[in-house]
Amino acid sequence: MQVEELAPTNRSYAPGDPGELLLPRPGQAALSLKVTIHSDFEDLRSDWEMFEKTALSTPFQSYSWLSVWYETIGKPAGEEPVIVALRDGRQQLMMLIALSRVHTPVGNMLVDMGQPVCDYHAPLYAPRFLDVLDAETMSEVWDFILQSLPDADLVSLTKQPEAIGKTPNPMAWVCPKAYFTPNSYQMSLAGYDDWHDLLSTKRSGKARSRMNGKRNKLAKLGEVRFHCVTEPAERANLATKLLTMKTKDLARAGKNSIFTDQRVRDFILAVSGHESVNDHVVMHVLTCDGKEVAITYSLNWHHTMYYYIASYERGQYERSSPGALALCRVFEWCLDEKIKTFDFTVGDEGYKLEWSDRTTGLVCGTFAVTAKGRFGERLEAAKLSLKHTIKNSPLMYKVASRLLYHFRR
């Protein structure tokens, strides 16, 4: 069933209904758009799950990801869902953007839903809606949405990718004060016959020889095996080990980890172990003599593999680079599964630069909805600007990370 065949829903409401927006289309009737606002996930579940099958989106905006986030993180934190659905005259979804209301000293602020467990924030777009959008029309659409938001003084958007895959993200066009955060990196897997073809293209003979040496060094410590984990209980158990491994790794580097937060851990375990949301969760493990020495957690979404969490054991295994060896096996698995793109997600780690062939910038934007929100807009913009400045200075970032790490201990 295509998105255009979705049945209309009568369960939504629009407290600040601004009326109708008409977007001109050359040679066709104008596209009629209306906004509805939803505060309950169940109101939109069937439409959302059908829409995401064909919409331009990332896995971090899937119904399963965000509904589990709300139960484990959003609701306990007191956040309130504000899910914006933009529909055409036939009540078909054209765009869906999931926000959360948080109460701050400067008023009610709407933020991207899913923090801090989403590497990307972006709406879901119907492909035919993208055909009528450019920077000017998207600005009209966004103003139309802002007029409809209930009980909101300020909207703050972060980690908006400039493109989703190779398609521009229209939301990135409307961020008037865009502060760039660390980039994300992607590698195309199209055109490679197999893993050996990819490796010979991406790595020199000397680099391949070093990799073989590390593989042999690890094999001397015991039998090396690599496999994909699919059973929910085993996946949840492996996720627990991965989170512990990753937290230790970050602590060793003096960095904060979101995985020390029990609510975040609960979220990861719920997504990993729940049958109904396992379709796009992919976990791989590299073992040596039966011990897990490297674990990866990825999301397979619309022929793209999103590399989300990965870590490896230190000690006697570290010199064999088990993390790098596991990543190479994940590449091999992706090629076997006909994955078209490998997305390394957010972060400027060196290994991502070595493998990737495309860089995607991420932008942020703040938008005052009321007069009260204008002060908050300036404050939020200043905070984002300072964060950007710190992250773009290696020395400042190192000092700030250390201070924050010790302050939160």
Mean of pLDDT values over 194-222: 93
* pTM score, whole prediction: 0.88
331 sits in which H/E element = helix 322-336
* Per-residue model confidence (pLDDT) at position 23: 92
The three-class DSSP label of residue 301 is strand
State phi, psi for 313 to the nearest 5 degrees.
-75, 145
Mean of pLDDT values over 28-38: 93
In Å, the largest CA–CA distance within the chain is 70
Of the listed ranges 168-177, 206-215, 257-266, the one predicted with least confidence: 168-177
Q: How far apart (Å, rounded) are the C-alpha atoms in residues 354 and 77?
A: 39
Q: Which residue has the tokens 């590449």?
A: 331
Q: How far apart (Å, rounded) are the C-alpha atoms in residues 247 and 264?
A: 12
Q: How far apart (Å, rounded) are the C-alpha atoms in residues 386 and 388?
A: 5
pLDDT, tens only, 332-343: 999 999 999 999
Query: Which ranges of 73-161 does DSSP label H, i.e. alpha helix?
Result: 127-130, 135-148
pLDDT category, 68, cuts 50, 70, 90?
Answer: very high
Mean of pLDDT values over 56-68: 96
Mean of pLDDT values over 312-326: 94
Q: How far apart (Å, rounded) are the C-alpha atoms in residues 391 and 373?
A: 27
pLDDT category, 372, cuts 50, 70, 90?
Answer: confident
Q: Within 13 Å of residue 291, how many CA atoms lie on the same side as its CB?
A: 15
CA angle 6/70/144 to nearest 5° reads: 55
pLDDT, tens only, 69-85: 999 999 999 999 999 99
pLDDT > 90? residue 177: no
Chain Cα centroid distance, residue 160:
9
257 sits in which H/E element = none
CB under 8 Å to 92, separation ≥6 — which residues? 3, 4, 6, 8, 126
* Per-residue model confidence (pLDDT) at position 18: 63
Beta-strand pair 358-368/341-346: unpaired
* Per-residue model confidence (pLDDT) at position 3: 30
pLDDT > 90? residue 32: yes
pLDDT, tens only, 2-21: 333 332 333 333 444 568 99
* Per-residue model confidence (pLDDT) at position 106: 81
Average pLDDT of the chain is: 87
124 sits in which H/E element = strand 124-125
pLDDT category, 38, cuts 50, 70, 90?
Answer: very high
pLDDT > 60? residue 407: no
pLDDT category, 47, cuts 50, 70, 90?
Answer: very high
pLDDT, tens only, 255-292: 778 999 999 999 999 999 866 554 789 999 999 999 99
Copy the structure tokens of residue 286.
């590299």
Mean of pLDDT values over 193-209: 92
* Per-residue model confidence (pLDDT) at position 209: 94
Domains and CATH numbers, the chain: 3-181+360-399 (3.40.630.30), 191-339 (3.40.630.30)
Q: In this structure, how many other beta carbons lie within 10 angstroms of the beta carbon of residue 13?
A: 12
Mean of pLDDT values over 354-380: 87
